[in-house]
Amino acid sequence: MSHYVKFTYQRVRADIAPFNALPELNTCRRELLKLRLMGVDSNGVGFGNLSVRDGATRNFYITGSATGGLPKLSLTDCVLVVDCDFEKNWLQYEGTAIPSSESLTHAALYESDTSISAVIHCHDSGLWATLCDRSPTTSKTVAYGTSEMAYEIVRLFKGTDVRSRKILIMAGHEGGIVTFGKDRHEAFAVLMREGKESSILRRKRFP
């Protein structure tokens, strides 16, 4: 059991078949690592995660817990989430890794909008502070990786313009930013756009 994972999880298979999106995930991660939007913090804790939907299904591939600092992911660093229940704070998955602590958050996004096929969760304290309450924002009383956060995602989709903005800020998770899109290119482009627009001083970091 990972110290950072706040839901219960059940492995139904010890391995997953190779998936075509893994090279693209690694390409995206390289850019995020270069921009320090993903990596390892001063306490040695990895941060940041990505996921992609498995075709037209409800299932999705997501990077494993504590993999944020790895320069390149292998298949064993990812899992396939095949079922979840927000009320029970539980999920089922395939793979040898432990699912990312944000797996329920990603699941809520995929369930809220069937057009979403990729999700990025990254960290940047400056951009987070700038966008908090100016972009769709979760309650500051709700912690990351919980079923409450999953319900917050559902709330944002019902009551804000998050569907068109394709970005949300996690007020109760300092630095936590989530973008999404029809593919990883769109999710990454949203993040770069917000980074550029938030401050002229940040343009060197968000090319």
Q: Distance between CA 109 and CA 13 in Å, rounded? A: 24
Give the type of residue at 36: R
State the pLDDT at residue 201. Answer: 43
Q: Distance between CA 134 and CA 130 in Å, rounded? A: 8
State the pLDDT at residue 198. Answer: 78
Q: If 0-12 CB within 10 Å is exposed, 13-18 middle and 19+ buried, where does residue 126 land? A: middle
pLDDT tens-digit profile of 44-82? Answer: 888 999 999 999 999 999 999 989 889 999 999 999 999
Name the residue with tokens 């990603």.
Answer: 106
Domains of the chain, start order: 8-202 (3.40.225.10)
State the pLDDT at residue 200. Answer: 45
Q: What is the pTM of this model?
A: 0.94
Q: Does the pLDDT of residue 85 top 60, yes or no?
A: yes
pLDDT tens-digit profile of 113-170? Answer: 999 999 999 999 999 999 999 999 999 999 999 999 999 999 999 999 999 999 999 9
Q: Which ranges of 114-202 would DSSP assign to H, the alpha helix?
A: 125-131, 147-159, 162-165, 184-198
Q: Identify the DSSP state of 169.
A: E
Q: Distance between CA 103 and CA 120 in Å, rounded? A: 11
Per-residue CA distances from 187 to 25, 77, 131 (Å): 12, 21, 16
pLDDT tens-digit profile of 168-199? Answer: 999 999 999 999 999 999 999 999 999 888 76
Q: Identify the DSSP state of 70.
A: -
Give the type of residue at 182: K
Q: Distance between CA 12 and CA 83 in Å, rounded? A: 10
State the pLDDT at residue 66. Answer: 87
State the pLDDT at residue 202. Answer: 54
Name the residue with tokens 């993999």.
Answer: 67
